A and B are shown apart, each in its own frame.
Chain A
Amino acid sequence: MSTFNAEQLFRGQKENDKLKKIDFKLISFTLAGRDYGINILKVKEIRKAGNFTMVPNTPPYVKGVDNLRGDIIPVIDLRIMFNLPAETKDASNLENIIILRLDSLVLGIIVDTIEKVVGIASEAIQPPHPIFGDINIKYIQGVVENDSRLYIILDVDRIFGVAEEAEVHPAPLAASESVETIETDEEKAELVPTPNGSLDLQFISENLATFNQFHVSPLNIQWTKNRLGAWKDLRKSKNLDFQFTQKEDGEEFLLPFFSPLTGGLWTEEQLVDLAKVLKLEGNNLVIWNPGCGQGYESYSLALMMETQFKASTYKVWANDLDLLSISMAPSLILDEDELDLSWKRFTVQTKNGLQFHSDIKNKIMFEFHDIKHMNPFTQIHLVVMRDVLSFQRSNDQEKILGEITEKVKTGGYLVVGANEVVEHEEWKFIGHEPWSIYQKI
């Protein structure tokens, strides 16, 4: 069927709605013989069009632009984008176009045939399985069966991301496989990663891991090397060997590692500064704050959202493995004398002391959670994880960083410790003292 049969569609809908709870409707279409679907809420309209104005220097799947009643919108051929066989109609034939509206982006996608509206219960949607799609599993929201047809629901937000899209090609599933191999090499991975690191660096790395659970890796090796030099001089001047004999030695070694602005709320000035770099917009922003400790960082982030990004709705997910610290976080008592005046209006007096108002508290979810366990998020906009990764084993560091890279939206941010460095092709360093901020490209 390449034309809409409105009567059949309407009748079908009414029957379905009576049978089961329909809370998700999708527009079904075909690509290379397979059935796909897109959430109807993302679909603006359906049309037939042709003769697109070609735009030079665009990826092959960008067929050009089309004039949609005055608005110029890009037209993308999904079949080419996903490397599926596509029959090119000659210039006079019209293509089937689905016009999508994603947040502020409107674009058209060319498909083989457009079928109908399918109403389903959202709980019937199953998570994708690698064999169901010829296209990258990342772009599949789920699969659902209806009327003995199997529809692959595309996650168009993920596919079309933010303005500058990188080339879409099937990403290797190797990410999960490589974690397996690293784990078996766990013993070796603990020792110094650089082949030309000196023996001293190797000893200090072992000491740090044993006494202080600090694991040297590409994340912090530059800082460790620099610190080692100064440390050796310091110890020599005291007539001591540079190696640790007890935990306190390691604590002294690590003292300059820790990021500034911990253990207290950030000031309005600092938040204004930070907000200049973080271009957060939109609604339902997910902010992940592992290693929140007593909660000062989490509250600071909420305050930043309330004062600098007033238009956006958000939620801060704060985690820590220190049960004692985090269980006190929801009812954190503030020191009235030390409190920055700008934050006064967000606090209330309670019988235990000065606390944050429930309007702020309700925006933060404090959870006792081990970040080495499965990550429950589907999409994250900002991760603030300072001085946390360095205290994980090397293979856990890689795994966690890999998950973050997967789940952070393109254009999203990762803030690590002041002395931590993320070396990854998908992360670009964008400054900015006293924070170490990376943006996902």
Chain B
Amino acid sequence: MRVEYINPFVEAAYNVLTEVLNTEVKRGNLFLKAATKSVMGVAAIVGLAGEVEGRVLFDMSKQTAIKIASVMNMEELTELDELAKATISELANMITAQAVTKLHELGFKFDLTPPALITGENMEVSDQEVEALIVPMETPHGSIEINVAVRERS
């Protein structure tokens, strides 16, 4: 993945998460993945287009998703209902949008698609032709992995 794209995603994730969760968030070590990867239980996907083609995936466990949705809505949610799902989709949208704005300032024109939320057990994600960059973020509610897989549009 082009190095110029990395920081906007890392910074956007950090900024948005610390702001909406109102707490300290820690970033783990970045790494690259090219094979099938397990998804923790809840995956929010935002497509990317424009100068690049690919997607960003926000990966977390169901518990983490419920807790984060609770904090963001300022009410105690007990299950991953429609409100919680909409909240997580919105979180994915906010982070991606901020990253895309930063990229725009750097001169890279990215477009994004509306987010899709996928939930289930024993899910896996694989990208046949694109390498994925994983940015692990640790929050008090659990970990969120930001999985960015983009390639230059040739």
Provide the residues of chain B in CB contact with A131, threshold 8 Å.
Answer: none
Residue in B32, B34, B129, B152 whose CB lies within 8 Å of A368: B32
Q: Which 4 A-B pairs have the closest CB atoms?
A: A373-B34, A370-B32, A366-B3, A327-B3
Provide the residues of chain A in CB contact with B3, threshold 8 Å.
Answer: 323, 326-327, 329-330, 366-368
A369 touches B131 (CB 8 A): yes
12 A–B pairs (Cβ distance < 8 Å), ordered by A = A321-B32, A326-B3, A327-B6, A366-B4, A367-B3, A368-B2, A368-B3, A369-B1, A370-B34, A370-B131, A372-B34, A373-B32
Q: Does A365 contact B (CB under 8 A)?
A: yes
Complex: chain B residue closest to A372, CB-CB: B34
Q: Does B30 contact A (CB under 8 A)?
A: yes
A327 touches B152 (CB 8 A): no
Residue in B2, B7, B34, B129 whose CB lies within 8 Å of A367: B2
Complex: chain B residue closest to A376, CB-CB: B151
B151 touches A368 (CB 8 A): no
- B3, B34, B129 — most chain A CB neighbours (10 Å): B3
Chain B residue total in the interface (Cβ 8 A)? 14
A365 to B151, CA, bound (A): 12
Q: Does A91 contact B (CB under 8 A)?
A: no
Which residues of chain B in 1-38 are interfacial with respect to chain A, using CB atoms and an 8 Å cutoff?
1-4, 6-7, 30, 32, 34
Q: Does B39 contact A (CB under 8 A)?
A: no
Provide the residues of chain A in CB contact with B133, threshold 8 Å.
Answer: 368
Provide the residues of chain A in CB contact with B32, threshold 8 Å.
Answer: 321, 368-370, 373
B4 touches A368 (CB 8 A): no
A79 to B136, CA, bound (A): 55
Q: Does A374 contact B (CB under 8 A)?
A: yes
Provide the residues of chain A in CB contact with B131, threshold 8 Å.
Answer: 369-370, 373-374
A326 to B4, CA, bound (A): 10
A329 to B152, CA, bound (A): 19
Provide the residues of chain A in CB contact with B4, threshold 8 Å.
Answer: 330, 366
Closest-CB distance, B153 to chain A (whole angstroms): 12
Complex: chain A residue closest to B35, CB-CB: A373
Bitwise, B104-133 to A at CB < 8 A (1) or not (0) is 000000000000000000000000010101
Provide the residues of chain A in CB contact with B7, threshold 8 Å.
Answer: 327
Closest-CB distance, A433 to chain B (whole angstroms): 33
Provide the residues of chain B in CB contact with A321, threshold 8 Å.
Answer: 32
A166 to B97, CA, bound (A): 53
Q: Which residues of B contact A (CB under 8 A)?
A: 1-4, 6-7, 30, 32, 34, 129, 131, 133, 151-152
Which residues of chain A in 37-75 are interfacial with respect to chain B, using CB atoms and an 8 Å cutoff?
none
Closest-CB distance, A13 to chain B (whole angstroms): 27
A376 to B34, CA, bound (A): 12
Known: A368-B3, A374-B34, A376-B151. 19 other contacts (CB 8 A): A321-B32, A323-B6, A323-B30, A326-B3, A327-B3, A329-B3, A330-B3, A365-B152, A366-B3, A366-B4, A367-B2, A367-B3, A368-B1, A369-B32, A370-B34, A373-B34, A373-B131, A374-B131, A376-B129
A369 to B31, CA, bound (A): 9
Provide the residues of chain B in CB contact with A369, threshold 8 Å.
Answer: 1, 32, 131
Which residues of chain A in 358-405 are interfacial with respect to chain B, using CB atoms and an 8 Å cutoff?
365-370, 372-374, 376
A327 to B7, CA, bound (A): 9
Provide the residues of chain A in CB contact with B151, threshold 8 Å.
Answer: 376
Provide the residues of chain A in CB contact with B152, threshold 8 Å.
Answer: 365
A329 to B129, CA, bound (A): 25
Closest-CB distance, B13 to chain A (whole angstroms): 16
A323 to B31, CA, bound (A): 9
A323 to B7, CA, bound (A): 11
B6 touches A366 (CB 8 A): no
Complex: chain A residue closest to B34, CB-CB: A373
A365 to B108, CA, bound (A): 13
A366 to B34, CA, bound (A): 18
Closest-CB distance, B12 to chain A (whole angstroms): 16
A373 to B36, CA, bound (A): 12
Which residues of chain A in 112-130 are interfacial with respect to chain B, using CB atoms and an 8 Å cutoff?
none
Closest-CB distance, B143 to chain A (whole angstroms): 20
A323 to B32, CA, bound (A): 11
Closest-CB distance, A287 to chain B (whole angstroms): 15
Complex: chain A residue closest to B30, CB-CB: A323
Bitwise, A284-322 to B at CB < 8 A (1) or not (0) is 000000000000000000000000000000000000010
Provide the residues of chain B in CB contact with A373, threshold 8 Å.
Answer: 32, 34, 131
Provide the residues of chain B in CB contact with A370, threshold 8 Å.
Answer: 32, 34, 131
Closest-CB distance, A125 to chain B (whole angstroms): 14
Provide the residues of chain B in CB contact with A372, threshold 8 Å.
Answer: 34
A370 to B4, CA, bound (A): 16
